[in-house]
Structure 1
Amino acid sequence: MSTHEKRRSKLRQLLRRQKIDGLLVTSFQNVTYLTGFTGDDSYLVVTADDAVLVTDPRYTTQLEDECPGLRLLVREPGERILPTTAKLARKLGIGRLGFEEDSLTVGALRQLSEAAKKTEFAGQAGLVESLRAVKDKGEVESIRSAAHIAKRAFEVVRASWTSEATEADIARELEYQARRFGGKCLSFPPIVAAGPRAALPHASPTATRVGDHDFTLIDWGVFAPLYASDLTRMVFHTPPSKKMAKIYGIVLEAQLAAIEAIRPGAKGEVVDAAARDVITKAGYGKEFGHGLGHGVGLEIHEGPRMGRNTEAELVPGMVVTVEPGIYLPGWGGVRIEDDVLVTKTGYELLSDVPKSLESCLL
């Protein structure tokens, strides 16, 4: 049984628990996860004993290469995907068909219901995502590779750093170097924020010159090719001030404490608290205004989540970011982020960009 067949088999177990006859998979990332198909504009219908991909002629050759043996329903030119999918549901005799309520629009559901009136549609949330949260060995290696490519791109950017470069220049160079080292692209628009702009957790790169400030925060990642990495590092243009050294030390201590708290069975809120307690005791609790981290995989943000009131437990195979931060408006901010695998006995760092205070100095 192939990797993708095993994943569909696990999904069928979930369908039985939900008492539905099948699932209409409309999230393209979930289609990729269950089939290996890397295109788009295609839906997958999974039943207790079948799996059919509703697609179109543009992808016939690609599907033969990526998904040999997968049953296809190829639409004719001009034939729309929703009526074709409804026709398939009728042909398969599906009485109760689940659909991904986080992906399918209300309008699309209405069209399906009108075209397949004998089929009951039941909204489902997070079925495939729950499987995606736990990575297999191949997925872990893909994320590790994505983190390594991100590291190499960052090293080149640091080595070629000039005070005249703008935040936008650095963002573009990160993209170029990521592709040069084998990445498909950056996994999200990078955050490059110099000086006071580092107080914005999601700052967009601007024409601000990095040399006009003492430090720059860089948050970036790579798709290589399907799986994402996500890292954050600080770059100091001048020796860090006493204030920077203090703030950076607190954030690093918080991050290391949280990483050490990662193990099977640990709740997301407990790992979050390991970092948040360090920052709060240092007097900066209100300046850490976001959750500790999130899962990474086929998407840059996926399950599990680590933050306050997150009771879900970590299990081996999950890959999460650990990214505490302190943000002081008018001064700047510090965030440190790594990708961490939950192992059977604890954790493993998948990203290894140096992060000591000294290593951040150009």
Structure 2
Amino acid sequence: MLDKVQKIINDSNLDIVVFSDPVHLLWLAGFSGSTGVLLVSDSGAVLGVDFRYHEIAEDLKVENLDVYCAPTGNLLKNTLDYFFKKKVERVGYLASRNSQNQKESLQKVLNAELVAIDHEINFARSQKNKSEIVGLVESSKLNADLFNHIREMVKPGISERDLAAEIISYAVKKGASKMAFDPIVASGKNASRPHASFTDKILEPGEPLTLDLGVCLDGWSSDMTRTWAVPGKKPTEGLLKIFDIVNSAKKEAESHLAIGASGHDLDVSARDVIKKFGYGDFFGHSLGHGIGREVHEEPRLAQNSKDIMLDGMAVTIEPGIYIKDKYGVRIEDSYLIVDKKVINLGIDVFSDFF
């Protein structure tokens, strides 16, 4: 991944790029400690850490990455003095990952022109290389295993909280470092809330249960949603109807997902299906997003998106219909666009309603 940053350095006429936020330290160096600074030039890179993380950083073994255990003091200044012997003039940084105080601190230490390269870095992250794709696939496999495990527990009488506890426990036992986001476990009326928090509510026969889950495995996120009917009673006709509409919208968007498709057109393809049946006002979020080190990345699949799908991108498709105080349905899978093919990473997880 360092080569992606070095291309930006050359294209933007920068001396170095500085990273200090956890997401990019993980993406570029595989470092998951709480404190560190990564400096990248056109000829190399150094990860500066303090004594607490020196041994951990030494174990990373990233090609063309030096590790520096800085003495007590300003970590950025000490690492810069170690790495770059001449004065820097133009320094790339991430404006969105630094507060105004942090920017002023950078300016004081570097005494150079700061150049925001957020767009360039986000675009570079959106196209995954082979090793990144492997990470996403493995994370999605664990997430699929999690869904299949939890499906066996879905029955009347269990609470949303008990399901959430088992979700987190099972994921960690199977190798996840954490959940990629707080699990959404929403049954009955709670399913009308797209990002509901789990409660003590007890599952009842025939009502919907929406599970939106993702794990973090070796730093890679996964994301999937299923809405299932709780066993024991046939769902209402109204609930069956909106499930079929959402499923049709998802399949329509899937059929258009390809290199060259726009995030806008993909969103519209699914949204038009939902509008056709009169539920357009009940689909209030965008269709999907990129996924990688973070669960929400570029590209965006949304009505106002200008992003174009390219080889190596990983995205979600997740249409939904939400009827306040009644029920809701969302179905989501993650997809890889690789070698002009589209791979559904959730294909092994039961997606029918009941």
TM-score normalised over the length of structure 2 = 0.93
- With over 3 angstroms needed to count, the CA separation of the structure-2 counterparts of 1:36 and 1:44, relative to structure 1, is same
2:37 touches 2:76 (CA, 8 Å); kept in 1? no
1:268 touches 1:312 (CA, 8 Å); kept in 2? yes
The alignment status of 1:282 with 2:277, answered yes or no, reads yes
How far 1:183 moved relative to its partner?
A: 2.2
Looking at structure 2, the residues matched to 221 and 303 of structure 1 have their Cα atoms a distance apart, in angstroms, of 17
Looking at structure 1, the residues matched to 120 and 21 of structure 2 have their Cα atoms a distance apart, in angstroms, of 12
Tell which deviates more after alignment, 334-343 or 39-48.
39-48
1:42 touches 1:55 (CA, 8 Å); kept in 2? yes
Looking at structure 2, the residues matched to 146 and 182 of structure 1 have their Cα atoms a distance apart, in angstroms, of 10
1:144 touches 1:351 (CA, 8 Å); kept in 2? no
The alignment status of 1:150 with 2:143, answered yes or no, reads yes
Equivalent position of 2:288 in the other structure: 293
How far 1:212 moved relative to its partner?
A: 7.0
- With over 3 angstroms needed to count, the CA separation of the structure-2 counterparts of 1:225 and 1:73, relative to structure 1, is closer
Runs of at least 5 residues in structure 1 that lack an aligned partner in the other structure: 1-6
Looking at structure 2, the residues matched to 22 and 239 of structure 1 have their Cα atoms a distance apart, in angstroms, of 62
Tell which deviates more after alignment, 316-325 or 8-17.
8-17
Tell which deviates more after alignment, 30-39 or 278-287.
30-39
- With over 3 angstroms needed to count, the CA separation of the structure-2 counterparts of 1:74 and 1:126, relative to structure 1, is farther
1:82 touches 1:111 (CA, 8 Å); kept in 2? no
2:208 touches 2:328 (CA, 8 Å); kept in 1? no
2:90 touches 2:113 (CA, 8 Å); kept in 1? yes
- With over 3 angstroms needed to count, the CA separation of the structure-2 counterparts of 1:95 and 1:356, relative to structure 1, is closer
Equivalent position of 2:23 in the other structure: 29
Equivalent position of 2:3 in the other structure: 9
- With over 3 angstroms needed to count, the CA separation of the structure-2 counterparts of 1:88 and 1:280, relative to structure 1, is farther
1:264 touches 1:343 (CA, 8 Å); kept in 2? no
Equivalent position of 1:325 in the other structure: 320
Superimposed CA distance per residue, residues 154-205 of structure 1 (whole angstroms, 9 cap, x where no aligned partner): 2222212342221111111111111222222221101111111111111000
Tell which deviates more after alignment, 88-97 or 102-111.
88-97
Looking at structure 1, the residues matched to 328 and 318 of structure 2 have their Cα atoms a distance apart, in angstroms, of 13
Return the letter of the residue paired with 1:312: D
SS at match of 2:197: coil
The alignment status of 1:64 with 2:30, answered yes or no, reads no
Looking at structure 2, the residues matched to 38 and 132 of structure 1 have their Cα atoms a distance apart, in angstroms, of 18
SS at match of 1:66: coil
SS at match of 2:220: coil
2:210 touches 2:227 (CA, 8 Å); kept in 1? yes
Q: How does 1:172-321 map to 2 (within 5 A)?
A: 172-211=165-204, 214-237=207-230, 238-321=233-316
The alignment status of 1:51 with 2:45, answered yes or no, reads yes
How far 1:240 moved relative to its partner?
A: 1.9
SS at match of 1:102: helix
2:314 touches 2:336 (CA, 8 Å); kept in 1? yes
Looking at structure 1, the residues matched to 80 and 351 of structure 2 have their Cα atoms a distance apart, in angstroms, of 57
How far 1:309 moved relative to its partner?
A: 1.7
- With over 3 angstroms needed to count, the CA separation of the structure-2 counterparts of 1:116 and 1:152, relative to structure 1, is closer
How far 1:135 moved relative to its partner?
A: 1.1
Looking at structure 2, the residues matched to 160 and 242 of structure 1 have their Cα atoms a distance apart, in angstroms, of 25
CA RMSD between the two structures: 1.9
Aligned residue pairs total 351
Q: Percent identity?
A: 30
Equivalent position of 1:169 in the other structure: 162
1:296 touches 1:321 (CA, 8 Å); kept in 2? yes
Looking at structure 2, the residues matched to 224 and 71 of structure 1 have their Cα atoms a distance apart, in angstroms, of 25
How far 1:316 moved relative to its partner?
A: 1.1
Runs of at least 5 residues in structure 2 that lack an aligned partner in the other structure: none
How far 1:24 moved relative to its partner?
A: 0.8
SS at match of 2:97: coil
How far 1:82 moved relative to its partner?
A: 4.1
Return the letter of the residue paired with 1:180: K
Equivalent position of 2:346 in the other structure: 351
- With over 3 angstroms needed to count, the CA separation of the structure-2 counterparts of 1:59 and 1:231, relative to structure 1, is same
Looking at structure 2, the residues matched to 131 and 93 of structure 1 have their Cα atoms a distance apart, in angstroms, of 27
